[in-house]
Structure 1
Amino acid sequence: MGIEIGGSIEKVNGKEISYYEFVERYLAKNQPVVLTGLMDDWKACKDWVFDSGKPNLKFFSTHFGNSKVQVADCGTREFTDQKRVEITVSEFIDHWIDAKECGGASNSFQEGNDKLVLYLKDWHFVTEYPEYVAYRTPLFFCDDWLNLYLDHYRMHNDSDTCQENDGISCSDYRFVYMGAKGSWTPLHADVFRSYSWSANVCGKKKWLFLPPSQCHLVFDRYA
C-alpha cells in the first residue's frame, strides 16, 4: 500500500518574514514550513559545493580527513537502527567515490566492499572545528536551549568519561550528515524528543511529514 499525499508544505522566503510572523504562522500552530534564502552567505555552501551543485568531496578529505565519524550501513539492520562503524572522514569519502565509480549497492557489511551505501551520521562538526564557521544559525532558531546549555556546561565533568563515550554525551547536538544517493535513515525521534531544524546544503533529501493527529500511529510499540 503506497503513501497517500494529502496537502502540501508551504515554502516561504525566510528573508521576507519576521520572527514574530514565523512564531505566529508556524511555530505556535506546529505547522511545518520550508524556509528559503537563509543559506546564501553560508561558508558551507561555498566550500562544500561546486558551482555545478555537486558535492566537493575532496574538500572534506583535505581539510577534515582525520576526523573519526560514525557511519551507518544502509543495507544492514542492527536492533532498531542500522549497523554502524567508526571510520575517518577520508575513508568515508574514498568509499563514496569508489562506490560511485563501481555503481550499485549491496546489503552485506564487509570491510573493503565498495558497493555499500554508507551514511555519515551525528558528526559533531561545530565542536570539532569551532574556528571554521560553516553556517550562521538563522534568527528563527536562535533560542536553542539545549545547545546553549551544553556550550557552557558539560554533561560529564570527568574527562575520562567523555573519552569513553567518544565525546558524544558531553558535546553539543549540532550535527553534519552526509550520504550518497540511496542513503537513508530509519524513522526516529529528535534528541531528547526535542525539535530540530535542518538545512540541505547539497543534493536532495526526502522528508515525510505527518500531521499531529496521526502521531499515535508512529510511536514505538514498546514505548
Structure 2
Amino acid sequence: MLSCKRLLFKPTKLNNTKKKNRAKTTTNQNGSKFPINQQPTIDPVEEYEQEENVFSLRTSINHGVQPLGNFFLSSTSQNSRDIGLGNFKILSDELVLEILGLLDGSSLGIIATVSKSLFIFCAHEPLWRNLVLETLKGGFLFNGSWRKTYIAAHFPCFNVSSIGSCGLSIRDFYSDYLFQSWLCANLEMKHEWLGRDNIPRRKGISVEDFILNFEEPNKPVLLEGCLDNWVAKDKWDKDYLIKTCGDVMFSVGPVEMKLEDYFKYSELIREERPLYLFDPKFAEKVPKLGNEYEVPVYFREDLFSVLGEERPDYRWIIIGPAGSGSSFHIDPNSTSAWNAVIKGSKKWVLFPPEVVPPGVHPSPDGAEVACPVSIVEWFMNFYGATKDWKKRPIECVCKAGEVLFVPNGWWHMVINLEESIAITQNFVSRRNLLNVLEFLQKPNASDLVSGTRDRVNLHNKFKEAIDAAIPGTIDQLVSKAEERMKILPYWETVADSNSGGFKFSFC
C-alpha cells in the first residue's frame, strides 16, 4: 500500500499570499461557504505542489479523492463514503450507464439516484482498463481514457465527449486504494531519484577488455558508440515504424495491437502502469526491422543459437511512454542481456545477485516475485533506504545511442523517462554457459524456464547441441571452474546458484 507518512507528519506549507488573503469564510468550487475552522481539507494536488522539495505533480482530475491519512488531520469528521453526498438525476434508459459510472450526473430526469461515492469508484480508470483488455483484446482505439474507450466500443451512439465535463467537486472522500493509482500516475520523477550515476562508462574498448573487466567478473557497464552504424538509430521514429509495420500486430502487455493504435494510446495515456510494447517476434513479423540493427561486437557469441528455431525467445523491440517500464526482475534462464536505447532515455537501478532489492519478495524457489504495483511506488517507498546500504545499487540514465550490459543474475528495474524505443537481447556466452545449464536442470525448471514451449527438455537439448557444435567446451569450462574454486575462500565456493554459482550437476 502506498505510504502516506509525508501527508500525516509533514505540515503543508502555504505561500504568504494565500495567508494574507484568507477571509473569515471560504468558498469552494460549487459556491458553498465554510467557516475557516470547518474548511475542507486542502486538495491533494495543491498540497503536494506546495510542499517544498517533496513531489511535483502533473495535473489531472481525481474527483477530490485524498489519502486516508488526511482524514486523521481533517477539521471535519464528515466522510462522503458514509453518507453518500449528493445524488445524480438520470433518465430510465440511461440508468445502467449511470450505475456503471458512464455518466457524470446530468439532470435529465428523476428516475433513479446514485451516490457520488459510487460514481467515484465506478469511474476508477484501472477497473475500466481491465474491462477493455478483457473484452476488446487489442481491437480498440484509445479514446483519451479507458472509460471512454469502453463506452465508445460498446455504445457507439453514446456521446463520449460529454463524459467528465460536469466538473464534480467532492469533499472529504478518503481512499488509499483510489488515491494511490492516481498519485503514482501523476508524480514527476524527483531529481534525487535521477541524480545518482555510479555505473562505469566505456567507449571504443576492445572485446578482450570487455570480457576481462565486465563479463568475466559479472559487472554491468554502459557502452557508448555501439549504435553509430545502425540504420535504426536515424530512422526509427513513430512515422517510420507505423509506415514500415502497417497492420502487423505487436505484443502489448496481454493484448496484440497495431503500432499506429499503440502510439495513439501512448500519446494520450496517463496511468500508474502504462501498457508496454514488448514483442519477441518483431524481426520475424517485420524482417526489415531485424535488418536495421546489428548486435554489438561485445555480445556476438550467443550459444543458444545452436538450438536454431528451438531456442528460447531472446530479442525484443521495446516501446513505451514516459512512466512505462519493467519492475524488478532477473533475466530469464540465467542469461545475460544488452539493452540499446534508440530513442528516448531510461532510468536503470540494478542490484547484484546476492542483494534482493528492498520491497521485493521472491518466493523460495524463485518462481514468483512480489513487489510494489508500480515503479513510481517503489521509488516513493523504498528508494531512499538504499542510500545507507553497504552494497548500494548500480544506477544510471541510459540515453539514445547507448547500450547497457546487464550481467546474469542481477536484479534490475527500468523506467522510461520519456517516450522511448529500444532493442534488447538475451544471450549465453562461454562466461555464463555453466550457470545456464545449471539453471535449466533445476527440479522446478518447468516453472522457471521461459520463452520456450519445451521447458522440461531444454537442458538436454541445449547440452547435446553444444557438445555437437563445439565438442569439449563444457568439460573445459568445468575444469577451469574447479581450478578457480580451489583458490577461492570457502564462502565464495558455496555461492547459491541463483547468484551466479554452479554445482556441476548438469552433466
Q: TM-score range by the shorter chain?
A: 0.5 to 0.7
User: Structure 1's 124 and 212: CA in aligned 2 closer, same or farther, altered over 3 A?
Assistant: same
* 1:99-137 residue CA offsets vs partner (Å, 9 max, x unmatched): 1xxxx6145xxxxxxxx8321013422222334412111
Is 1:23 aligned to residue 165 of structure 2?
no
How far apart are residue 57 of structure 1 and its match? 0.9
Contact 1:127/1:171 (CA < 8 Å) preserved in 2? no
Contact 2:251/2:257 (CA < 8 Å) preserved in 1? yes
Residue matched to 2:331: 190
Paired residues, number: 172
How far apart are residue 59 of structure 1 and its match? 1.4
Cα distance in 2 between the residues matched to 1:142 and 1:23:
12
Cα distance in 1 between the residues matched to 2:263 and 2:327:
22
Q: What residue identity is the alignment partner of 1:62? A: K
Is 1:118 aligned to residue 275 of structure 2?
yes
Selected match of 2:233 from 45, 61, 79: 45
Contact 1:70/1:86 (CA < 8 Å) preserved in 2? yes
Contact 1:123/1:177 (CA < 8 Å) preserved in 2? no
Contact 1:124/1:173 (CA < 8 Å) preserved in 2? no
User: Structure 1's 57 and 7: CA in aligned 2 closer, same or farther, altered over 3 A?
Assistant: closer
How far apart are residue 7 of structure 1 and its match? 7.8
Q: What residue identity is the alignment partner of 1:105? A: R
Is 1:174 aligned to residue 355 of structure 2?
no
Residue matched to 1:68: 249
Q: What residue identity is the alignment partner of 1:43? A: V
Q: 1:57-206 to 2 correspondence within 5 Å?
A: 57-72=238-253, 84-97=254-267, 99=268, 105-106=270-271, 117-132=274-289, 133-146=291-304, 148-150=305-307, 152=308, 154-155=309-310, 172-206=313-347
Selected match of 1:32 from 220, 240, 248: 220
How far apart are residue 62 of structure 1 and its match? 0.9
Contact 1:120/1:177 (CA < 8 Å) preserved in 2? yes
* 1:45-87 residue CA offsets vs partner (Å, 9 max, x unmatched): 0111xxxxxxx21211111132212213xxxxxxxxxxx2222
Greater length-normalized contact order (CA 8 Å, ≥ 6 residues apart): 1
Q: What residue identity is the alignment partner of 1:70? A: S
Contact 1:57/1:93 (CA < 8 Å) preserved in 2? yes
* 1:9-62 residue CA offsets vs partner (Å, 9 max, x unmatched): 10010x2x11111111111111110000010110110111xxxxxxx2121111
User: Structure 1's 215 and 23: CA in aligned 2 closer, same or farther, altered over 3 A?
Assistant: farther
Q: What residue identity is the alignment partner of 1:122? A: D
How far apart are residue 141 of structure 1 and its match? 0.2
Q: What residue identity is the alignment partner of 1:221? A: S
Q: 1:198 aligns to what SS in structure 2?
A: strand
Q: What residue identity is the alignment partner of 2:219? A: Q
Larger Rg: 2
Q: What residue identity is the alignment partner of 1:67? A: V
How far apart are residue 184 of structure 1 and its match? 1.7
Residue matched to 1:158: none
Contact 2:274/2:321 (CA < 8 Å) preserved in 1? yes
Cα distance in 1 between the residues matched to 2:277 and 2:334:
21
Q: 2:239 aligns to what SS in structure 1?
A: helix
How far apart are residue 186 of structure 1 and its match? 2.1
Contact 1:124/1:175 (CA < 8 Å) preserved in 2? yes
Q: What residue identity is the alignment partner of 1:37? A: G
How far apart are residue 216 of structure 1 and its match? 8.7
* 1:188-215 residue CA offsets vs partner (Å, 9 max, x unmatched): 2223231111111111111111134415
Provide the TM-score with structure 2 as the length reference.
0.31
Q: 1:200 aligns to what SS in structure 2?
A: strand
Cα distance in 2 between the residues matched to 1:106 and 1:175:
24
User: Structure 1's 9 and 216: CA in aligned 2 closer, same or farther, altered over 3 A?
Assistant: closer
User: Structure 1's 219 and 142: CA in aligned 2 closer, same or farther, altered over 3 A?
Assistant: farther
Report sequence identity in percent: 26
Q: Gapped runs of 5+ residues in structure 1?
A: 49-55, 73-83, 108-115, 156-169
Q: Gapped runs of 5+ residues in structure 2?
A: 4-191, 366-507
User: Structure 1's 119 and 61: CA in aligned 2 closer, same or farther, altered over 3 A?
Assistant: same
User: Structure 1's 220 and 68: CA in aligned 2 closer, same or farther, altered over 3 A?
Assistant: same
